[in-house]
Amino acid sequence: MIRETERRAPNGLALLLVPFALLGLEVWAFVREVQALEGGGGSVVLLIAICLAMLGTLLSFRGFFVVNPNQARVLQLFGDYRGTVRAPGLRFANPLYLRRAVSLRVRNFESEKLKVNDHVGNPIEIATIVVWRVVDTAEALFQVDDYVQFVRVQSEAALRNLSTRYAYDSYVEGEHSLRSHTAEIAEELKKEVQGRLAEAGVEIQEARISHLAYAPEIASEMLRRQQASAIVAARQKIVEGAVGMVEMALDLLSKKKVIDLDEERKAAMVSNLLVVLCGDRPAHPVVNAGTLYS
């Protein structure tokens, strides 16, 4: 496995005047030698040497390159990795080096809406947003073919794998689900994606579910199920509150000795109060002209 090795490249601004000075000196020598040859003196070999020196000086200009902020340049020589330059500015390296730019900026992408089955087999639609950046340029370039595409494919694969381990919604208290435990699911998704991208020199900073819904073919049925669950939960709370209010009413009547109720009258009072408190429609009072026993 190839790991990144940071390379210190000389400051190009300090070296920029050197090739210009050498080129000017070589042009002057070339002109002098041509004049000498025209006068019957000089040397053809020396003239050829001056021309080669000029070509070498011109080639040295290729050694200058710019590194932008939050960018790195990976250096290669005939296929051999020679290091990574991270220091921004004008830099100089061997003119024969192949320099490949790699962005170190934070990136993000949103996956397509994937149709998968959750833990209990319900078809759902799910998508994710992944925030990532390159931390090892050598691994990003040499361990995978295309690290950007690799991030996309592996993130979607991790999302598919995670969605099969959890149900869309939880019907058991304390059980994690995709809808109700977003923070825990996001943290697990981040670890899942990071584990798949570690060899690509990529660091995952955040991974969250951006879209979650039942598939259209079961969406209406699951909505009715959620509504029924909500109604049952609300009725349970209403009954619990009504029983407490009835108990409180009986205790107050008994303590203040407003009326002496036997068991049969208590049962009738409890029944009437529960009907009023638990009913989903306004109560209609009935005037009783007789007695409870008539």
> Alpha carbon 213 to chain centroid distance?
19
Residues 107-214: name the CATH superfamily. Band 7 domain (3.30.479.30)
Cα atoms in the Cβ-side hemisphere of radius 13 Å centred on 99: 19
- Cα(first)–Cα(last) distance of the chain, in Å? 95
The pLDDT value given to residue 119: 84
The pLDDT value given to residue 37: 74
The pLDDT value given to residue 23: 84
Taking only the tens place, the pLDDT of each residue in 267-278 is 777 776 667 666
How big is the chain, counted in residues? 294
**Would you say 105 and 88 are in contact if contact means Cβ atoms under 8 Å apart?**
no
The pLDDT value given to residue 245: 79
Choose between 60 and 232: higher pLDDT. 60
Taking only the tens place, the pLDDT of each residue in 33-74 is 777 777 766 677 788 888 888 888 888 888 899 999 999 999
Q: Which residues pair with 220 in a beta bridge?
A: none
Confidence of residue 166 (pLDDT cuts 50, 70, 90): confident
- Residue with tokens 């697990």, as numbered in its chain: 188
- Whether the predicted pLDDT of 285 surpasses 80: no
- Residue 50: which residues within 8 A CB-CB, separation 6 or more? 26, 29, 30, 33
- Strand boundaries in the chain, DSSP class E: 64-67, 71-77, 80-85, 89-92, 98-103, 107-110, 114-117, 123-134, 202-214
Choose between 214 and 95: higher pLDDT. 95
